[in-house]
Amino acid sequence: MKYPKYIEELIEVTNDMWLQGWDEYNGGNVSYRLTPSDITNLESDLKDTDYQLYTDEQEVEVMPIPDNIQNQYLLITATFSHFRKLKHQVSVDSGIIRLTDKGYIKVAGFNTGKKPTSEIFMHILAHSARMKYDKNSRVVIHNHANNIVLYSLLNGITSESLTLDLWSVLTESIVVFPDGIGVLPWDVPGTKNLGKNTAELLQDHRLVVWSQHGVLSTGCDYQDCFGLIETANKAAGLALKLQQISGKSVSENNVLTKDNLRAVCRALGVVGKYL
């Protein structure tokens, strides 16, 4: 059975995240905004797969949908989907929806009656926010990357402090995410409020940390999003070990200075948000 590329890549990235230990049990969720070509070829691409196709167009009301994302199609993971198993039952643990002015209509998948992730508010608003700044932004990933979560549990963090700490321990960080990392204080998962506040931070950042909870990234494809989290999580791990070994805060150690970071930016043609 051959799935279209965007479904094959969903299978790959969810398995990769589970192998990293970022998506325990039913933790984590992913969405992909289909291209016009994906939509045109949708029926033919799925006809020989196990994805159920729907023709009844029953609308599920969620919230007022931003104008710029109405009638867009999302491939999105299902609530209570386990990324350990998704590769074996992707048509059960994901589906395609078409967004309306106040919710969505199931188009395909969710074969056993599941519905989209409980973080659907965040996914809709995140796509809408990033589309305003980058027409090529198509993927949103949320997971519980271990080092990032632990760093937020041990340290009081802000967008600026977390960004500078992670930039200072891994030279490549400022190249990978020069726009920094947005930080939100802890909030109840799956709420409209969390989705709204996340979307506000996504106006300036592609990475957002939910303190004491997890992280999400946005990007042009799955590997772009995975790489953003992978880099930030590695830097957070280095920062944690540095604190543990030295008994000092990150900035009190022999880390990269702002002058060092500015030199990297000049050499590689990037602009560091907090410099």
Domains of the chain listed by start with CATH number: 1-117 (3.40.225.10), 121-274 (3.40.225.10)
pLDDT in tens, 7-25: 999 999 999 999 999 999 9
pTM over 0.85: yes
**pLDDT band at 1, cuts 50/70/90?**
confident
Residue 145 has pLDDT above 90, yes or no: yes
Looking at residue 116, its pLDDT comes to 98
pLDDT in tens, 208-243: 999 999 999 999 999 999 999 999 999 999 999 999
Q: Would residue 119 show up in a list of annotated catalytic residues for this protein?
A: yes
Nearest to 54 by CA among 111, 118, 120, 117: 111
pLDDT in tens, 110-119: 999 999 999 9
Cβ atoms 131, 220 nearer than 8 A: no
Mean pLDDT of 158-175: 98
CA–CA distance from 81 to each of 4, 18, 77, 84, 90 (Å)?
20, 12, 7, 9, 9
Q: Check 24, 43, 119, 160 and give the catalytic one.
A: 119
Looking at residue 108, its pLDDT comes to 98
Average pLDDT, the chain: 97
Looking at residue 9, its pLDDT comes to 99
What is the C-alpha separation between 217 and 122, in angstroms, rounded?
A: 12
